[in-house]
Amino acid sequence: MKHRTLIAATIVFIVSLVVIPAYPVWAAPLISLSPTYGAAGTRVEVSGTNFDSYVGDYLSVYFDDQLIPSSPVMVSAPGQFTVYFDVPDYVTPGTVIVSVKGPFGSILAETYFTIPTAEIELSVTSATIGATVEATGWGFYADRYINFVFAYDSKEISLGSTLSDPTGQYQHEFAVPTGPAGVHQVIARDDEGNLAVTGLEIVPSVVVSPASGVYEDTIEIEGIGFSSGSPVTIYLGTTPIAYGESNTIGSFEGTFNVPELALGVYNLWIVDENGYTAQFQFSITAGIWLNLTAGHISAPVIISGTGYAVGVTVSIYYDDVRVALATADEFGSFSATFEVPPGVSGEHTVTASAGSVTRQLVFAVESTPPLAPRRLQPTLNNEELPPAGFIWELVDDDSQPVTYTLQIAKEVQFEDVLVEKTGLVAPQYALSGADRLPSSKEGAPYYWRVKAVDAASNEGEWSTVGSFYWTSFSLPLWTIIVLIAAGVLIIGFLVYWMIRRRARYGED
């Protein structure tokens, strides 16, 4: 009985599926917004779908329960519509309902639109004066200009303006203006009354010129972004080396002299009374000095240097000749003394070298020639040259030693010099047979003169010209030839005689 009842129910269900007609099932109506976010003035597109049962009907679109100006809108096949509106000026930040109502006032679909609060954000929270900062934000009237200002101490400095995008967002770059250290306001505002404020801290910066130096160099320093009217202390490492005071906008200018320190890079700190600090990497470089930049040969010269590595050996060169060695002390300084070596007058290079660190200066050797010597012997002109030879007065000069050049000629113009002696150390010279000076005849004397040359190769003027007679003890040339020939004949005869004698003894 139970089985018959189940079979009958099944038959009835199947028959009902076949006999009862089918009706279409409609999807729920939907609306979408583009964009879903924006400030006053934003143009919004409302798109409706799945309104198939309302094709040909007029529907009303509401924004925050206010009918939009372009509503009602007719639904077109296949159940779609599109309508636009601008976000009204009266809106306040928050979430607003956008709804669609049917012909009889019932809500058919709804969604949400967000009204942002006016905001400003900066790419950094602190910056130095002149640095570029990017401001971004939203919530401002769409497609309108936004003005930016930097405010401190009741002052406002314009940072420029930019146009907001169609939803009221923006991006704007500005350079940090001059002002004292501290947190100051950056304000964004438009003509419709939207306003956003954030803070930006100015931190100090410095410019040091030059960025490196040697002992006692004067260095210029310019600081900006320090506290207003504040004492400022300048440190090199941990040692205070100079002081100053900033003006009302936190700027100052000053100088300092490079202290005696070894070669290296040091932290230069500038600190004001509120602890605002700027740092700079300052390089101490090597430098050298001479106590004399010009002088004579053999002059003692003191060379001093700073900025070398501690404990290094410093080689001192005069041109290419090493003249001294020194060792840098705990401050990287050294001192050495050398004598100017003999050489030519003019400029010479003095070098202090230690590894890769080399510094050079110029030393000028004096170019003043020595005085002309005064002739002492022969005392009178046209007298016989005494055995002691020529004697002249000693010449004094800064560049010692002084040497002499002696010339002898047959004529007073010295166009044909018969004897020339250079580099004479003593102020005298005696002729010898090696000079091959023939004896002079009565009325035809020889002429002589002498000049001084100092150790810097400066040549003085010739002395006055003197005359003398000379009797040579050397034989005439023809006599020498005859004697040589006679000697050859005698040697030949002796050789012949010895050969004959040996031959005779051999026969015996």
114 DSSP assignment = E
CATH number for the domain harbouring residue 402: 2.60.40.10
Q: Is 13 part of any domain? A: no
Q: From 393, 390, 395, 391, select the one nearest 368 (Cα to Cα).
A: 395
Q: Do residues 132 and 175 lie in contact, with contact meaning Cβ atoms separated by under 8 Å?
A: yes
Is there a single domain that holds both residue 210 and residue 199? no
- pLDDT (0 to 100) of residue 31: 96
Do residue 260 and residue 306 come from a single domain?
Answer: no
Whether residues 300 and 269 fall in one domain: no
Which pLDDT belongs to residue 111? Answer: 97
Query: Beta strand pairing status for 466-469 and 446-453?
Result: antiparallel
Which of 153, 132, 134, 149 lies closest to 190, judged by CA?
149
Short-list 340, 301, 292, 319, CA closest to 454:
340
Please check whether residues 183 and 227 belong to one and the same domain: no
Question: Are 490 and 433 in a shared domain?
Answer: no
Any domain includes 22: no
User: Residue 442 has what pLDDT?
Assistant: 74
User: Which of these three, 284, 304, 338, is where a domain ends?
Assistant: 284
Contact by Cβ (8 Å): 225, 180: yes
234 and 175, same domain (yes or no): no
Residues 158-213: tens digit of each pLDDT: 999 999 999 999 999 999 999 999 999 999 999 999 999 999 999 999 999 999 99
Q: Is 113 exposed, middle or buried (0-12, 13-18, 19+ CB in 10 A)?
A: buried
Q: What is the dihedral of CA 7, 10, 14, 17, to 10 degrees?
A: 160
Spatial neighbors of 112 by CB under 8 A, at least 6 apart, are: 36, 95, 96, 97, 98
Amino acid at 502: R
Q: Token pair of 81, please?
A: 């519509």
127 and 105 in a common domain: no
Same domain as 63, residue 35? yes
Report if residue 16 sits inside a domain.
Answer: no
Does residue 392 sit in the same domain as residue 458? yes
Question: Is there a domain that residue 11 lies in?
Answer: no
Same domain, 462 and 489: no
- Residue 1 domain-assigned? no
Cα–Cα distance for residue pair 261/279, rounded to 1 Å: 19
pLDDT digits (tens, 9 = 90+) for 46-71: 999 999 999 999 999 999 999 999 99
Residue 164's nearest CA partner among 120, 131, 114, 198 is 120
Selection from 376, 388, 385 nearest residue 446 by Cα:
385
Range of the domain at 492: 481-508
Residue-level pLDDT at 497: 66
The verdict on 385 and 464 lying in the same domain is yes
Decide if 2 is inside a domain: no
The number of domains in the chain is 6
Q: Which residues of the chain have pLDDT under 50?
A: 1-23, 474-480
pLDDT for res 381: 78
**Could you tell me the two tokens for 279?**
């740092």
214 shares a domain with 190: no
Cβ–Cβ < 8 Å for 360, 349: yes
Non-local (6+) Cβ contacts of 443 within 8 A are none
Domain of 177, CATH number, reads 2.60.40.730
**Which pLDDT value is given to residue 13?**
44
212 located within any domain? yes
Cβ partners under 8 Å of residue 234, min gap 6: 221, 240, 241, 242, 243, 244, 254, 256, 268, 269, 270
- Give the Cα separation of 262 and 269 in Å (integer): 18
- How far is it, in rounded angstroms, from Cα 388 to Cα 347? 41
Q: Which of 204, 208, 209, 216 is nearest to 251 (CA)?
A: 204
Q: Where are the beta strands (DSSP E) in 116-181?
A: 119-122, 126-128, 132-138, 145-152, 155-163, 170-175
The Cβ of residue 50 has, within 10 Å, a number of other Cβ atoms equal to: 17
CATH number assigned to the domain comprising residue 61: 2.60.40.2950
What is the SS3 assignment for 139?
Answer: coil
pLDDT at 482: 59
114, 143, 192, 489 from 35: Cα distances, Å: 9, 15, 22, 138
299 lies in some domain:
yes
| Backbone CA torsion sign across 167, 173, 174, 180 | positive
Amino acid making up residue 377: Q
Domain final residue pick, 154, 184, 203: 203
Q: Which of 85, 115, 145 is the last residue of a domain?
A: 115
Q: Residues 31, 37, 43, CA angle at the centre, nearest 5°?
A: 75
